Structures are given as structure tokens and as C-alpha cells.
Structure 1
Amino acid sequence: MAELWTQMGSLMATIMFVYAMVERFFPAALRDALQIHTQKLVNFLYPYVQITFPEFSGERLKRSEAYTAIQTYLSENSSQLAKRLKAEVVKDSQNPLVLSMDDDEEVTDEFQGVKLWWAASKTASNPHAYSFSYYSPLDGKRYFKLTFHKKHRDLITVAYIKHVLEEGKEIALRNRQRKLYTNNPSSGWYGYKQSKWSHIVFEHPATFETLAMERRKKEEIINDLVKFRNGKDYYAKIGKAWKRGYLLYGPPGTGKSTMIAAMANFMNYDVYDLELTAVKDNTELRKLLIETSSKAIIVVEDIDCSLDLTGQRNMRKERSEEEEAKDPNKKEEEESNRSSKVTLSGLLNFIDGIWSACGGERIIIFTTNFVDKLDPALIRTGRMDKHIELSYCRFEAFKVLAKNYLDVDSHHLFSRIANLLEVTTVTPADVAENLMPKCVNEDVETCLLSLIQALERKLAEEAEEKESDDGGLNEEKDKEEATQQEIKSNGHCVEDVKGNGFIL
């Protein structure tokens, strides 16, 4: 054994001597050629291929999206096999503390029966080197190294790497902390740390299970959402942008905003609450659309009140005639004072124009209390693909509210409430207000009796309104009949005068 170690030591010393002589006395061109042929010999004997993914890339050394996606993928799928892990605090994530494999650690992965090796490595940093990157760490450059057998080159480079990047991005989206955005005025778009959208964490607890609506209608909406979420290939096949429009309409208090929150929670989407009155013109509207992310719901609430978009085409001629008659100075002053110049055409292009195809997997929702006021071009099929009416509370929706607020599935007062709900027009918000206990002493029966009293009062009010309306109609009818009788009698008098030879 001692002789073997002696021979190995002599061999290593000889190699080091030869290497030093080559580096010192051989010309650079000869050294490069020798290195190339040596690498070819190593590649011939070594049957594995290695691919490196650096943490920073590009001219400005920005953090590589590929590196981030690979790190997320390995943290989710393979890092549990590593013996040395590092903990990192990730911003805007549901799991703020993420474990990933440490430097100089290696894990294995398998894809379609092929075994691969991932290694996390780091190069030594040069303290005298100047970096243009805002992100580059001072302790060296990190990278991931993927190793696999050369006979699987096509499978790994074509399918596996694409799978890793897509899976990593999907995991990051799934684990992200969802946000509720609102648009800023254009005066605050530019400058240090300025942006077009402000956001807070979206924490609305609404779900379809707690939504006061008929089960059949809820299942119909859920199935439509699932089909849209899984329809990426289908939308690409038919040549349409991967988006869908919903129009929610109904009286105030019927749950339109709650429906939006339930849809966002079900789809795991961000929500962009677009305030049209803060948008100056169509150009700003397009810029806001570009800044929205995929997997998002863009909401315009009370669109009939947001801008004067109702009946624009019918009034266009009248407005143009009025503007022509105005004094030019006055006209210019009115134009400058108008807060928003977003037009119906600009909003239509925002919904389904060529700019709407930027990004993907978006849902656009309009809400309104008065659907008849909206321009038909705004809500036609293809722009608002599905119209959902949210109406007054009926017994099936009441049972959901009773379960939510009182945790009760049945009660002897339910039949009485069912009869009252059939003949009254009361919103789910009004029902929920009466079902909510106001103090610790109120039990289930007290809350249900409170609801019954409220429904009976509502029924009496509606009966009084109907009676007064009927009385007013009868009074108008009597006046109309009296007027017709008076006209008729006056006609007879004129005929009598003409018969006697006089014309009054």
C-alpha cells in the first residue's frame, strides 16, 4: 500500500511539473489547442453532459428568471432529499420561510424514467471587481448545474428543462400572496418607487360555499370558471385571447362584490379594481392594462356610474351640434375640467381589442345595478361572455345565510320565512343583517323572529306602496275620463250653435 501511494505521489508531481512547463514555455495558441484536444478526450471518456444556470445574467446582471424558477421547483420537489438546507425569507409568499438546498449540495430528480442530478454551486468572488448589478451578492456568483447522460440530451434539453421552468413558475404563482390592486392617478406614475397600481394583501374570506345563491346557479358558474382555467390550449386553437368577461347585474345588496371575491378565491387570482374616473384618456387605459399580470380579475364596479358611457352613440349628434354652437374658449375650458376622457370606443378596445391579448388568463368583470342603461355594444357576447343576474333573496339562498350566521340547517320557523320570502323583495344583505346576533344573549330563534318581523314590515310597506300607486293610477284615470267627457260635451255645444246659424 505504501508503494502504491508513493507511485501516485510521483505521478501527481510529474503532472504538476509538466503543467507548469506548458503554462510557462508553450505559446498561447499552442496551449489553447492542447486544452481543446484535452477537453475532447475528457468528453469522449466522460459520458455525462452538464448545463449551468447562473443566478445573474444579461448586460446589467439582473436576476435570472430561469434560476428563480429552478430554485422554486427544487425547493418544492427535490430539496427534501438534501441533507444541508438554507432558509430564506421570500417576500409576498404564503410561506414566508422557504427551505432550499445549500451551496455545494446535490440532489437527484427523475423525468420519464431518466435520472438527473442538480447541484447548487458558487464561484469565488473577486473583491476588486466592479459590478453593475443591483442584485449581485458580494460572496460570489451562485449557479445551478444540471448533469445527465448524453444519450438523453434531446429529452432533457427539449422537454425536461421546459417542464422545470413551467412547473417552477406555477408553484410560485400558487404560493404567492394574492393582492388587491387599485389604479393610481397618472401624476404619480413616474419617479422613484412610483407605479401605476397600488396594492394591499387580498384577504377577503368569501367562497362559493358561503355565497347566498341557488346551488344550481353556483355550480354553473364554477363549471364555467374551471373550463376557462383549463382552456389555454383550446383558446390558442381557436385563435382567441385567453380571457373571459362576466357581467354581474342586480339591485344593490344582492352580493355582486362578494361574488367577485368568491371567484378570486376559487381561481387563486389577483384582483385589479379599475377606477375609470381616475383614468384621463384611452392611452392611459391601455397602459394600465399592460401593467396587469396574468391570472388576474379586472373589475369595473358600477360601470353605469363610472363614466358617461350609456347612450353615447345616440347622443353623439346632439352633442356635436351643441359643441359647435359654443364659444371656443368656453369649450376648451370644459374639456380641461373634464376629469376623464375615456370613450366607449376606448373601453371596447380595452375589453376585446388587440391590446386585450397582452398577457393571458384574465377575467374582466363589470357590475351594474341597471343593466338597461348600458350600451348594447359594451355587453354583447364576446365582450361580456356570461351575464349573471343577482336578484332578491329566496329560501335556498336564505338557508345558506342561516348556516353561515347561525350554524343551523333547519328550524320550525323556516317554513314561515319561506312563505314570506316568496312574496317580498328583500336582498341577501338585508336578510344577513337581521340574522346576525346583536348581543351574546340572542339565540337562533331570536334572530329568526327578528327576520320574520323585518319581512312582515317589508311586506306591509310594499302593500301600502302598491295601494298608493293604485290610488294614484285610479285618480289619473278619473281625471282623464273627466277631461274626455268635457271635450265631448264641448263638441256637442259647438254642433248645436252651428245648427242655429251661429259660429262662436
Structure 2
Amino acid sequence: MNSETWTSLGSLLASLMFIWAMFRQHFPYNFVPFFQRYAHKIVWFFSPYIEITFHEYSRDSFDRGTAYVAIYRYLAVNSVETAKRLKAAESVRDSATLVLSMDDYEEIVDEYQGVKVWWTSSMTITKGQSISLYPRDDEKRFYTLIFHKKYRDLITKSYLNHVMAEGKAIALKNRRKKLYTNSKQEAHSGSSWSHVVFEHPATFETLALEPEMKKEIMNDLITFTKAKDYYAKVGKAWKRGYLLYGPPGTGKSTMVAAMANLLQYDVYDLELTSVANNTELRKLLINTSGKSIIVIEDIDCCLNLTGQRKNAQKIVESEDVKDEFIRAAVENGSPGTDGTKVTLSGLLNFIDGLWSACGGERIFVFTTNYIDKLDLALVRRGRMDKHIKMSYCSFEVFKVLARNYLGIESHVLFQKIEKLLGETNMTPADVVENLMPKSGIEGIEGCLRCLISALENAKVVAAKAEKEVDMKENVGGENDVEEASTGSN
């Protein structure tokens, strides 16, 4: 373009600005917005593009819009590499990492199934508001999506669903997990749960468990998270129960932490002795969120529920009680101890009743050291769908622990340790205690020899205990023979 063209263009712009100024001066004030609105309609009538606006806050809410938050997360990932101007979020709720997103008045291009769309981040400034629902009276932020009108169906029916799903998945991945607990104080104050940030480092990679069982559990958990439609199809609440049982020190609590870290779920540690009655138990369930693990540890001893029903059943049978009300009470379970009136029936309904379907994607986990003490109704399939035995340390489990704590895959002493592990029982917790460095024990070999010594001592103690049991049985047998002989005489 030559200088004459630029001069003509400048004159034209100056003329347009003069005309606009005269128009605003001589026409009524109320007519200007009217003119702008219809001028805008004329422009977009001939434009091949469509705009969709997503506001940060609605007029009747103090909370950020769900759609805006999901878009924010989605664009935060997709804008880091393309946007020229970024800003760090001042505060993103429950985020474990710093979140960067495109700055105000910035634009990025996204592509979906070969179709290009444009996202812009904008802000309007309004003044003179007496009451505002926004964090700042003069700022209202929003995102605008621009796309060609021939892709309307693809964008509105598919792309936006994709953005929402991806945004929520990103938020879930980066959020801080929480560990919740209940207490009598919380119940009296009107709050159901209190929480802290869940920072347990356990993972399935470091978990002391047989490799095949570890893989099976991981596959089962991941399959559950993807089975929402399947559960709806078969008419079941979207939940799953796990029973972890085995001797103390076999890693049951660590397993729960590994499950939470694998799935990025919150953990609700339910203390039954702090629950007043069945009604409060239902309230606790209602106030749990989806994508959570509800844990009751040591279910066999936290409430005296299981043995009571068995004892009551024996009384009913021995005394031939025919009263229907008494029999119903036996079947429903009697109240627990420690001032709580939670019954076995209430606990069963908590896990598998109508209230358990309020919300979805929940995992129930019970742990126990003595599975034989539990009522069969409590652990049947459908309530506790998967029973996982946490056993003593095997050689395969030891190798995992040696890799975690000593950073080794093999050693000349492994063969002796394998032999001793096959001859005596030692929990993973005891193995770990011997593998950890201590004062006076130096290096990897020192830790392994410490473990060997502990295993040999455990073997001697076990042999001695077994010998004492045999002696008692022999003495008992001789006494029986003497009593039989005396009786015959």
C-alpha cells in the first residue's frame, strides 16, 4: 500500500469517528444501546461463526460455575504451551499443584476431531454496584468459545462434553485428597466429619504383597471406576466392598492408603464407637462424597455386634423362645457397647441398604485380624464383594521390601532368608523393622544379617511353643486315660 492509500484510509476512519460522535451527541441516550444491539445482530447475521459465553459466577450464587471451573482446568493444560501470556491462580480449591492458565484477553486455538475452535478469556469492569456476589465488585470474568456454525452439532453435543469430562478428570488428578474422621464432638456441633489433608505415601508399587495378588486387586479397582453404566444396567448401586483380613502387621491399613492413592479417592475413617445410633450412621453416609473409600478398621472389636447375635441366637434356641418380637430382635442384632446404639441391622443397611445408593462410586473396606469372629451376614458377597487375605511375609514380598528399604534386587544372603521364611512365620511389619538401619548396624549386609537373626529366633520360639502345646495335649490325653480307667474300676 502506498502513502496515498494510507492517507485515504486515515481520512475514512477519522470521518467515521466524527459521524459516531455526532450520532451519540444528537440522538437520545437510550437509542445508542438499541442501535448497538441491532448493529451487532446485523454483523453476526452475515458472520459464519458462533459464540458461546461461560461466566465465572451466576447472579444467584457465590460459588464459581461448574462449567467455568471445568473449562478453566481444561484450558490450563492446553494453554501452557500455546498461550503467550499466562497467570498463576491465586487459589484453586483443593489443588495440590500450582495452576497456570491463560491471562485475561488472551486467545488460544484448540482442535477437536480436525475442527478448530477458539477460546478467549475476557473480563468486564462494572462500577457503582452496591451489592455484588462476585469476589470483586468491578470484575466479571468469562470464557468465550468461537467456532464455525457448520460444526454446531459437533461442538454442542460432543466437544463441550469432552471439555467438561477432561476438566473434571484433571481436577480430580491434581486435587488434594482428604482423610475424614467422625467423632462425638463433631456430632454435637452439627458437623458430620472433620478432615485433614491425606498425604500417606503408600502405593501399590511399594506395597508388600504378592505380585499376582497386587495386579489382581489393581485391575479390580480400576474396573470398578469405569463400571458406572454397567452397575446401572444390572440395577446395583455403584459401590464395592473389600474385606481385608489377616494377622496384625500384615499391611491392611497400608493397603487402604495404596487404594486411595491409586484411585485418587478421599478416605472416610469411620469410628463406630463414636456413632450414637443407626440414624446418625445414615447421616454420616449421606455426608460422604463420591469417589471415596469408607473404612471401618478392626470391625471385629470396634463394636460388640457380631458375637452378640450368635449368643442371642443360642439363648433363643436353648430356651425355645417363640415370641416373634424377640426372634426379630435376634435377627436384627442387639445394640453395641460403649454407649452406642448402632445395631448389626443398622450397619448392614449402611453398607448394602437403600441408603447406600445415595451417591455413587464408593468403596467400603472392612479390616479384621479375626475373620472367624465376623457374622456371615456382614461378610457375604454383595456386601464384602472381595475377600483379601493379608498373610505372613513370603520371599516374593520380602524382595519388594528389600527393594524399597535397601535398594537391592538380590544378595548372597537372599537364599538363606528364603529358606527361613519358608520355615517360620513373620509379618511384613516385623521384616521391615529388621531391614531399617539402626545404631550399631551398618550397611546392607548388616540389615540382612539382623533379619536372619530375627528369623532364627522366631523359629526357635515357634518350635518351643509347639512343643509345649504337644506336652499339654499328651498330659491331657494321659489324664483322660486315667479317668477312664478309674471309672471302669
Provide the TM-score with structure 2 as the length reference.
0.87
Q: Give CA deviations for 1:196-255 in whole Å, capped at 9, x if unaligned.
A: 222222222222222222222212212212222332333233232222111000011111
Q: Which residue of 2 aligns with 1:327?
A: none
Q: Is the 8 A contact 2:441 2:447 kept in 1?
A: no
Q: Is the 8 A contact 1:279 1:285 kept in 2?
A: yes
Q: Which residue of 2 aligns with 1:454?
A: 454
Q: Which residue of 2 aligns with 1:296?
A: 292
Question: Residues 2-401 of structure 1: matches in 2 within 5 Å?
Answer: 2-18=7-23, 21-23=26-28, 38=39, 40-89=41-90, 90-95=92-97, 97-131=98-132, 133=133, 135-185=134-184, 187=186, 190=189, 195-316=191-312, 338-401=338-401
Q: Is the 8 A contact 2:105 2:123 kept in 1?
A: yes
Q: Is the 8 A contact 1:79 1:107 kept in 2?
A: no
CA distance in 2, matches of 1:118, 1:408: 51
Q: Is the 8 A contact 1:189 1:196 kept in 2?
A: no
What is the deviation of 1:36?
6.9
Go from structure 1 to structure 2 and tell me whether the alpha carbon gap of 1:215 and 1:141 turns closer, same or farther (over 3 Å shift).
same
CA distance in 1, matches of 2:337, 2:243: 31
Q: Is the 8 A contact 2:80 2:101 kept in 1?
A: yes
What is the deviation of 1:61?
4.1
Match of 1:183, as an amino acid?
A: N
Identity of matched residues, %: 56
Q: Which residue of 2 aligns with 1:437?
A: 437
Go from structure 1 to structure 2 and tell me whether the alpha carbon gap of 1:456 and 1:50 turns closer, same or farther (over 3 Å shift).
same
Go from structure 1 to structure 2 and tell me whether the alpha carbon gap of 1:439 and 1:314 turns closer, same or farther (over 3 Å shift).
closer
Match of 2:127, as an amino acid?
A: N
CA distance in 1, matches of 2:336, 2:261: 41
Q: Give CA deviations for 1:384-428 in whole Å, capped at 9, x if unaligned.
A: 111010111222222222222223333333222222222212211
Go from structure 1 to structure 2 and tell me whether the alpha carbon gap of 1:61 and 1:422 turns closer, same or farther (over 3 Å shift).
closer
Go from structure 1 to structure 2 and tell me whether the alpha carbon gap of 1:471 and 1:161 turns closer, same or farther (over 3 Å shift).
same
Go from structure 1 to structure 2 and tell me whether the alpha carbon gap of 1:175 and 1:407 turns closer, same or farther (over 3 Å shift).
same
CA distance in 2, matches of 1:63, 1:410: 54
Q: Is the 8 A contact 2:350 2:356 kept in 1?
A: yes
Go from structure 1 to structure 2 and tell me whether the alpha carbon gap of 1:156 and 1:349 turns closer, same or farther (over 3 Å shift).
same
CA distance in 1, matches of 2:337, 2:475: 47
Go from structure 1 to structure 2 and tell me whether the alpha carbon gap of 1:488 and 1:4 turns closer, same or farther (over 3 Å shift).
closer
Go from structure 1 to structure 2 and tell me whether the alpha carbon gap of 1:4 and 1:424 turns closer, same or farther (over 3 Å shift).
closer
What is the deviation of 1:184?
3.3
Larger radius of gyration: 1
What is the deviation of 1:51?
1.4
Provide the TM-score with structure 1 as the length reference.
0.85
**Gaps spanning 5+ residues in structure 1: where?**
322-334, 490-504
CA distance in 2, matches of 1:412, 1:46: 77
CA distance in 2, matches of 1:146, 1:6: 35
Deviates more, 1:5-14 or 1:373-382: 5-14
CA distance in 2, matches of 1:25, 1:84: 38
Q: Is the 8 A contact 1:186 1:279 kept in 2?
A: no
Go from structure 1 to structure 2 and tell me whether the alpha carbon gap of 1:79 and 1:122 turns closer, same or farther (over 3 Å shift).
same
Q: Is the 8 A contact 2:243 2:386 kept in 1?
A: yes
Match of 1:161, as an amino acid?
A: L
CA distance in 1, matches of 2:110, 2:250: 51
Alignment RMSD: 2.8
Go from structure 1 to structure 2 and tell me whether the alpha carbon gap of 1:469 and 1:43 turns closer, same or farther (over 3 Å shift).
same
Give the length in aligned residue pairs: 467
Go from structure 1 to structure 2 and tell me whether the alpha carbon gap of 1:414 and 1:18 turns closer, same or farther (over 3 Å shift).
closer
